[in-house]
Structure 1
Amino acid sequence: MQPIERWDYAGEGLDEHDLPGAPLPLIERWVQDAVDRQAAKGDVPEPDAISVATVDAAGQPHVRTVLMRHLGADGPGFYTNYASRKGRDLDDNPNIAAALTWPPMFRAIRFVGVAHKMPVERSTGYFRSRPYGSRIGAWASHQSETAASRAQLEAAVASYEAKWPDTGSPDDVPLPDFWGGYVVRCDEVEFWAGRSSRLHDRLVFVRTGAGDLADEASWQVERRQP
């Protein structure tokens, strides 16, 4: 076993005085900071990659990384095959946890809440914005199911490409009825900022009202031990 390489998290930290009255402005700022860091230094690939944790009907947790393709006052969101493992888990238990993590910046945001399916109109709009290959892939992949071989997947892709050729139009591949988005209605949003000697800052917005992520009257802040 190689010796452990230890790093001191020399981040900027986070103080209560730096917080807005609701979580959304700081979420947006940190995401933009990560996008800007990737553009400038190239060490934050996929800055909107988000780890999503669900629990199946037997109580077994599952976590995977997807891309956050929605962020609004209603919450962070992502798109998937509704018949995938995560989709099946969320049908049985909509409770969800998710995290954005940017190690080079010593920052992370953790979300805890309940997943809700997005309106089909929103999913359709996003689906049409995807590259042709990604739209075909949504039809070809029976996500999370066992695959006999790579050749089986590629044959399915070829079949759908023949059915719906690339015309350059966003409507040349229809939205699958088994594919769409989830948005997380958050009950907690934690901002983690790495500090020296593992004495990190953890400031958590906890829901106290029915409002969204921009509603200052619906949140209170707790500092938690690192």
Structure 2
Amino acid sequence: MTSIADLRKSYERAELDESASHADPLQQFDQWLNEAITGQVPEPNAMTLATVGSNLRPSTRIVLIKGYDAQGITWFTNYDSRKGQELAGNPYAALQFHWVELERVVRIEGVVEKVSDAESDAYFKSRPLDSRIGAWASPQSQVISGRGVLVANAAKYAAQFLLQPPRPPHWGGYRLKPDNWQFWQGRKSRLHDRLQYRIQPDQNWLRERLAP
């Protein structure tokens, strides 16, 4: 049986050099995300979201990025979920993308705010019908007696709303406005490339190399 401690991989696919990277972290992210998509990395849009509760205990979960621009990184979820409650009490959060096949990690930190109702409405209408019903059916993060609760709720709301379920008041989008980005490229001998971008008082980005 192989020991977990003996599992190792040599990272040799690419490099990340300051002279070849973008001065704007959003452009660097756009390049890497598109390379993950065109490279057919499994679920390139999946990201880990980390929040901190009032008890100072961090928690993580996987969510899907649904948009990004100069304003920030956007995803949609249940506002009453654990992550929603934690963001209501502490709006600072972190995101992480791990594209294993490309030997790359992107880490993003910043403050989170809800997107506008109009933006949430527009995205909700674009979702498949089953997903829109599911937003009503699942009391996310709450204890339920069994899967039958979800099935019964889905049937109830499908009959109530038919083909036009409205957006639930407890469901919508969040946007993280980054103030710190880190781009990690695996390299041989664990001498990885790691570039950090920090926002400055003049709103320009300072690019720095960090030791791995």
- The residue aligned with 2:179 is 187
**5+ residue gaps in structure 1?**
39-43, 167-171, 212-217
- The residue aligned with 1:32 is 34
SS at match of 1:13: coil
Q: Normalized against structure 1, the TM-score is what?
A: 0.90
- The residue aligned with 2:189 is 197
CA RMSD of aligned residues (A): 1.1
Cα deviation digits, residues 154-177 of structure 1 (max 9, x gap): 0000000101113xxxxx110111
SS at match of 1:83: coil
Q: Are the aligned partners of 1:77 and 1:184 in contact in 2 as well (CA < 8 Å)?
A: yes
- The residue aligned with 1:169 is none
Which residue of 195, 203, 209 corresponds with 1:223? 209
Provide the rounded CA distance (Å) in 2 between the counterparts of 1:100 and 1:77: 14
Question: How many residues are treated as equivalent by the alignment?
Answer: 210
Provide the rounded CA distance (Å) in 1 between the counterparts of 2:112 and 2:45: 18
**5+ residue gaps in structure 2?**
none
Cα deviation digits, residues 49-102 of structure 1 (max 9, x gap): 010000000001000011001111111111110000000000000010110110
Provide the rounded CA distance (Å) in 2 between the counterparts of 1:55 and 1:148: 27
Q: Please give the residue correspondences for 1:154-165 in structure 2 after superposition, counting only pairs within 5 Å.
A: 154-165=151-162
Q: Please give the residue correspondences for 1:43-192 in structure 2 after superposition, counting only pairs within 5 Å.
A: 44-166=41-163, 172-192=164-184
Identity percentage over the alignment?
A: 41
Name the amino acid aligned to 1:2. T
SS at match of 1:59: coil
Q: Normalized against structure 2, the TM-score is what?
A: 0.96
SS at match of 2:106: strand
Provide the rounded CA distance (Å) in 1 between the counterparts of 2:68 and 2:134: 24
Q: Are the aligned partners of 1:209 and 1:219 in contact in 2 as well (CA < 8 Å)?
A: no
Q: Are the aligned partners of 1:49 and 1:65 in contact in 2 as well (CA < 8 Å)?
A: yes
Provide the rounded CA distance (Å) in 2 between the counterparts of 1:19 and 1:29: 10
1:2 aligns with 2:2: yes
Provide the rounded CA distance (Å) in 1 between the counterparts of 2:140 and 2:21: 39
Cα offset, 1:22, TM superposition: 1.1
Q: Are the aligned partners of 1:11 and 1:196 in contact in 2 as well (CA < 8 Å)?
A: no
